[in-house]
Amino acid sequence: MERQTLRNLFWKRFRQNRLAVSGGIIVLVLFLTAAAAPLLSPFDPDAIDRHHVLMPPSLHHPLGTDDLGRDVLSRMIWGARISLAVGFVAVGIATAIGMLLGALAGYYGGWTDRMVMRFIDIMLSIPTFFLILAVIAFIGTSVWNIMIVIGLTSWMGVARLVRAEFLSLKEREFVLAARAIGAGDARIIFRHVMINSMAPVIVSAVIGVAGAVLIESALSFLGIGIQPPTPSWGNILSLGKDYIELAWWLSVFPGLAILITVLGYNLLGEGIGDAIDPRLWETERK
């Protein structure tokens, strides 16, 4: 009954936040577009048509064509699949690493906490984007390499959030009760404390997808991310800079896609954060 009441309060607060709902709709539309790319794409994204090079938006090509006559709308739809895949996988890797290290630091404390926190400080002292550039330059450019590198360089914020939650939760009554009945550290960490520390992690993960999409787009724009002919919003935008005076649509449409995607995930993440804030729940219940 208590869980049902909290769930109802969450959805009530979330629905009242119009910006959060708008962000959720944007994310849902992007997800459905990426999932249904083979059905929604009007043309083969790699099909070259020398007779329709750099054609402006029209009924036949709603977003125009590029320098090889490829349909920009089709490439944008397939690019959504690449960008969102990079975002989800990279955030999944970062969240898994951050939760594990943050849990160990917060639960055990002492030298474990000091070692983990100093490692986090070292990672935070290195400019993340330049670290990614350096690593990609050594290991090469591929979709999986980009996913892994972004994930391995983006876990520090999650680790600090989880550590803070563990420091607060490990002295609660339910943890003391679990210890009293003989539960081991692994069971307490993963079955009791971790579950109760998921709220800020979810918010961080949702916002993190936007950051990963932005990093992937920046890498592709610089030519060291997703490589042509594989479509990506970043490499479409990179092509647009070469034809900025002749084909404005190559810059405008992928730029808008990146803007809307990042905005949608940020609005959704902030909305979830507000909806699960326990201080607001207490006020609502009173």
106 has a pLDDT exceeding 60: yes
pLDDT tens across 178-209, in order? Answer: 888 887 888 888 888 888 888 889 889 999 99
Q: What is the Cα–Cα distance from 153 to 77, expressed in whole angstroms? A: 28
Alpha-carbon gap, residue 191 to 6, rounded angstroms: 20
**pTM summary value:** 0.87
**Token pair for 97:** 């690493």
State whether residue 118 is helix, strand or coil.
Answer: helix
Q: Which domain holds residue 119?
A: 2-285
> 282 pLDDT exceeds 80?
no
Domains: count for the chain: 1
Q: 201: which 2 tokens?
A: 């992690």
**Residue 61's CATH number:** 1.10.3720.10
Q: Are 155 and 91 in contact (CB under 8 A)?
A: no
